[in-house]
Structure formats: structure tokens, C-alpha cells
Structure 1
Amino acid sequence: MPTRGLFRIVRQPIYVAFALTLWSVPTWTPDQLAVAIVLTAYCLVGPLFKEERFGRRFGREFHSYASRVPYWLPWPRPAIRRNDLSIYGASADWWGGDARWLRTLRNMAPARFAFFDPIVGDWTGKRVLDLGCGGGFMAEALHARGATAVGVDPSTGAVAAARRHAQASGLEIDYLVAKGEALPFAAAAFHIVVCVDVLEHVESLDRVLSEVRRVLRPGGLFLFDTINRTPLAAFVMVTLGEQALGLLPPGTHDPAMFIRPRDLAARLAACGFAVGPVAGFGPRGLDRRLDFTFGRLPTSAVQYLGQARVCDDASV
């Protein structure tokens, strides 16, 4: 009896410490995440119940599950290649494919334009570069708004998919294989550069921003979104997005490449941009397929949208 009484006293702190240890693991398996969530829930709600009955029942259920999974082996773990962009070239069918990450990307476009459209006003006649165009979701939306859209992406597979869909749809959109660090365009070639889901992946952020500045006309606009460099962003994008929910394959993102808004603003200013305010961006609900829908959020701690204009009084 004294031993059981002592265990009841120390059980809660032990579970709390174990849950904190699991949450600290930088790379997850779904089983580890499940155990961490269950333990955390117990630590939060356990004191609200009769300890003896609830503790025994929880203990039986928890140990029955935990004994079957290697949640207690956070190390060693399989090496995961970070910032692995092969996913973007591996999908031959960006538009007809049913992979969850493709559906997620398609769902993001309307929310991005909800931020971009009021800034631009009328896209008609504007020459717009979609930097990092992927399969062409943003480029086709730009074309539908009356812009002359040009897309570039380093992935030959993604560019091929974008070209096929544009041709099948009868759309005149130019797509080129190129990196943001070396854009194949003359100076002052575009009114606007749109760059979404890209800056957190590039080899040289400063070089990309310099190239964006070079190809923009005086007074030109740079519209972008990217991922904030915060612990919450790493948890949401990698632990949840890649490993728990499967929104993207593991390794797509590298938290070390995420960018704080103030750091991005400083780099843009150094390239000759006047930087506007940023806005939080992320999941707002679920559609009929239980995929996330996206929109503005009151916090930019995970993802954010932004704008910058070439420092010049000329209008776009």
C-alpha cells in the first residue's frame, strides 16, 4: 500500500516529464506524436477526475498501446534529407493528381489572391513573373485576371506539367526552367513578381532578391509569402504538416531556412525595396474532402504574406 500510494504521488510528474521529453524530439513518427498527445491530455485533464479510477483506466489503455509502438526510441532515427524539392518534379499530374499536398497547394491560391488583389487593383495588361511557378496554379490565376503571366521553376517536371495544362486549356502562358538566382530576363522586364512557397527553399536568398529587383520596373511590386522562423512554425510545418497529417512528404521543409519577417524586410531594403506590412496566413477551415482551406490569420508566427515595392515614385 505505501508503494502504491507513493506511485500515485509521483505518477503525474513522471508523465509530465515524459510528455515534455517527447515534445522535444525534433523529428517525429506518428506513433510518437500520438503518445505525446495522449500523455499531454492526461496531464491536463487527469487532475479533474478521481485519480484512482481514472489513473488505473488510463494506465491500462496507455500501456496497452504504448507497448506496441517504439515511441520511446527517439534516437537513432532515419536520416531525413531536408529541403528535398524532388517532390515538385516527381508529380507528373499537378492538375489532375489527387495527392493531398497538391490539393493543399490548390487550396492556397484563393487566399493568396485575397491579399494580393487589393494591392494590385487591376492586373489587366501587367507583365507578371510567377517565380517558382510549380505546376502553374498561380500563373493560370494571373492569366485569368488579365495579366501577361510568365512562369519559371527549377523543376523540369513541374514546368512540363504547367505547359501541358496551359496548352490543353488554350492559355498563352510562357514557362521556363530557371532558378531564381539567375533569371533569364532583361532588366526591368516585369511590372510585378509573385513568389509563393519559394523563398524558404532557395539556395541564396540575397541573390534571389537581387534578381527580383533587377527584373522589376521602377515602382514594380514584389508579392510573396513564406514561413516564419519560429518554434511554432517548425512544429506546424514539419511535425504536423509533414509527419502527422501528411500534407507534404517528410523532408520538404528545413526549419533552418525559414525567414523572420524583420530579416526579410532588412534584406529587401538592402536591395532597394520599400517594404510593406505583412499579414498572417494559414488554415481557416476544412472543405468537403477534409482538406484545409486557407485565409488571413491574426498572427504571422507560422506563415505570412507580404509586399515590397521598388523604391521609385513611378507607378506600375
Structure 2
Amino acid sequence: MTGTVVAGERQKFDALAARWWDPDGPMKPLHRMNPLRTGWIAKRLDGVAGKSILDVGCGAGLASEAFARLGAHVTGVDAAGEALAAARAHAEAGGLSIDYREGGPEDLLAVGEKFDAVVALEVIEHVEDRAQFLGALAALAKPGAPIFLSTLNRTARSFLLAKLGAEYLLRLLPVGTHDWRMFITPGELGAALRPTGYRITELAGMRMSPTGQWSETRDLGVNYLAMARR
């Protein structure tokens, strides 16, 4: 276990591994959100075919598989071993070659690998040492390569919608999935990135409709995507 992810968070997502790929299961919101997230990233990379992408906190591989199906060379890393086992089994069944590794981004630094893009989707709100985490992401990116993050803004509205609404009222997520105190504002994310030499160059909000479909919006008040470059 590396030093950035809270141990309880790893155990939480390990417990969900068996149903991660059930589109109507506990990860249903991520299944619905995934095309928006990965499409937004692919567009800003002018396509991902032939490019190396590191998916940090990949879980059971929703984003990793989406990028792989678009022709990217994908490495996925996660501290949750059970989730990674589900990722490997699902990729093999789908005929996809994805390099899944157990651990955190810090564990990849020792082998000196660099990637054309580094993504961390719905991860930083589960991270204990954000400075170390973002420093590792930056160190794993090739010169000029972007970093992409998606996360939750810490606002009164996100507490009502993403915490109380999603977990307790609508039961879209298991109770305890998120700790609202760990949510991060775009300003805080930008400040945390600054020591790495990266700055946020683009932000987009993500909005869920009453039917559960996700779309891009200018409203950053709940879920948002960020691209950062040196």
C-alpha cells in the first residue's frame, strides 16, 4: 500500500469489485458518466489511438477499457486488488490487452515509465496526501503531456446532491462512498497542482439529468473535469 490512498477507501472499493461491471449495480453512475469523461479527454488529445495512457485509480477498468477500445495503449494502476482482479478478468473476456498493476502512481516512478497522458478520474477525493499524489502524476507524464482529473466540488449543492441525494435518498451509490470533506474546489486543485509545474488549462462541469444521463455543462458546482498542462 502506498502513502496516498486512505486504507479504508481501498477496502471500500474492493468490496464493490464483484458488481463493478453490472451497469445497474452500485457503479451505475460511473457507467453512465464514463462516455462523457473519456470522450472529453479523447477530444482534447485529438484522439487516443496509438498513445500511451496511464489510468490512475482505474478500479475494475471502466475508463481503461474505453480508452483501449479507442486504440490507446493503456496502463491501469489501483491499490484495490480485488477490483484489479475484476478488471483483468473483464479485459481478457473482451479480448483487450491492458496492463493492470496493483499499487499507486508512486510505485510506477521507480521503473521510470512516462506516458502521453495521465488520467485520474474520481480519485483525488479519496486520496490522503494530495501533494504527493499530484507530484507522482506529474512525474509520470512525458514532457508536454497533459494530466486529466475528474472529481467533486466541495459546495453546499454537492453535499445535497452528491452526498445526501445520491447515497441516502436516491441510492445511486452505496452509503459511505464519499466523504464530502474530501471534495476539492477547482481553486484548491489548481493551487495543489502549482508546485508540480502544472496549471489547469480547461474546466468543464458534468451534469446528470433526471433520467440518469450525463452531459457537459459550464456549471462546476458538483462534478467537474479538469485538464492541466505544464
TM-score computed with the length of structure 1 as normaliser: 0.67
Equivalent position amino acid for 1:284 in 2: S
Q: 1:266: which partner in 2?
A: 191
Counterpart secondary structure, 2:116: strand
C-alpha distance in structure 2 between counterparts of 1:273 and 1:253, whole Å: 26
Q: What pairs with 1:5-16 in structure 2 (closer than 5 Å)?
A: none
Change over 3 Å in CA distance of 1:202–1:277 after alignment to 2: same
- Verify the 8 A CA contact 1:85 1:252 in the aligned structure 2: no
Residue among 139, 143, 152 paired with 1:218:
143
Q: 1:301: which partner in 2?
A: 221
Runs of at least 5 residues in structure 2 that lack an aligned partner in the other structure: 1-7
Equivalent position amino acid for 1:250 in 2: V
- Residue 84 of structure 1 deviates from its aligned partner by 4.5
Q: 2:164: which partner in 1?
A: 239
The alignment's C-alpha RMSD in Å is 1.6
Q: 1:184: which partner in 2?
A: 108
C-alpha distance in structure 2 between counterparts of 1:135 and 1:168, whole Å: 13
Does residue 1:94 correspond to 2:20, yes or no?
A: yes
Please say which of residues 87-96 and 194-203 is displaced more in the overlay. 87-96
- Verify the 8 A CA contact 1:128 1:148 in the aligned structure 2: yes
- Residue 131 of structure 1 deviates from its aligned partner by 0.5
Residues 36-82 of structure 1: per-residue CA shift (max 9 Å, x gap) = xxxxxxxxxxxxxxxxxxxxxxxxxxxxxxxxxxxxxxxxxxxxxxx
- Residue 274 of structure 1 deviates from its aligned partner by 3.0
User: Matched residue pairs, number?
Assistant: 221
Residue among 270, 279, 282 paired with 2:207:
282
C-alpha distance in structure 1 between counterparts of 2:179 and 2:98, whole Å: 31
TM-score computed with the length of structure 2 as normaliser: 0.90
Highest relative contact order (Cα 8 Å, sep 6+), 1 or 2?
2
Change over 3 Å in CA distance of 1:85–1:234 after alignment to 2: farther
- Residue 171 of structure 1 deviates from its aligned partner by 1.0
C-alpha distance in structure 1 between counterparts of 2:22 and 2:157, whole Å: 32
Counterpart secondary structure, 1:268: helix
- Verify the 8 A CA contact 1:200 1:259 in the aligned structure 2: yes
Q: 1:249: which partner in 2?
A: 174
Counterpart secondary structure, 1:220: coil
Counterpart secondary structure, 2:125: coil
Counterpart secondary structure, 2:27: helix
Q: 1:18: which partner in 2?
A: none
Change over 3 Å in CA distance of 1:98–1:299 after alignment to 2: closer
- Residue 299 of structure 1 deviates from its aligned partner by 0.8
- Verify the 8 A CA contact 2:38 2:67 in the aligned structure 1: no
Runs of 4+ displaced beyond 6 Å: none
C-alpha distance in structure 1 between counterparts of 2:10 and 2:140, whole Å: 25
- Residue 270 of structure 1 deviates from its aligned partner by 1.6
- Verify the 8 A CA contact 1:284 1:294 in the aligned structure 2: yes
- Verify the 8 A CA contact 1:190 1:217 in the aligned structure 2: yes
- Verify the 8 A CA contact 2:119 2:149 in the aligned structure 1: yes
Change over 3 Å in CA distance of 1:97–1:119 after alignment to 2: closer
Change over 3 Å in CA distance of 1:86–1:293 after alignment to 2: farther
Counterpart secondary structure, 1:300: coil
Equivalent position amino acid for 2:216 in 1: R
Runs of at least 5 residues in structure 1 that lack an aligned partner in the other structure: 1-82, 287-291, 312-316
- Residue 85 of structure 1 deviates from its aligned partner by 4.7
Equivalent position amino acid for 2:188 in 1: D
C-alpha distance in structure 2 between counterparts of 1:189 and 1:84, whole Å: 27
Change over 3 Å in CA distance of 1:96–1:262 after alignment to 2: closer
Change over 3 Å in CA distance of 1:154–1:234 after alignment to 2: same
- The structure whose Rg is larger is 1
- Verify the 8 A CA contact 1:84 1:251 in the aligned structure 2: no
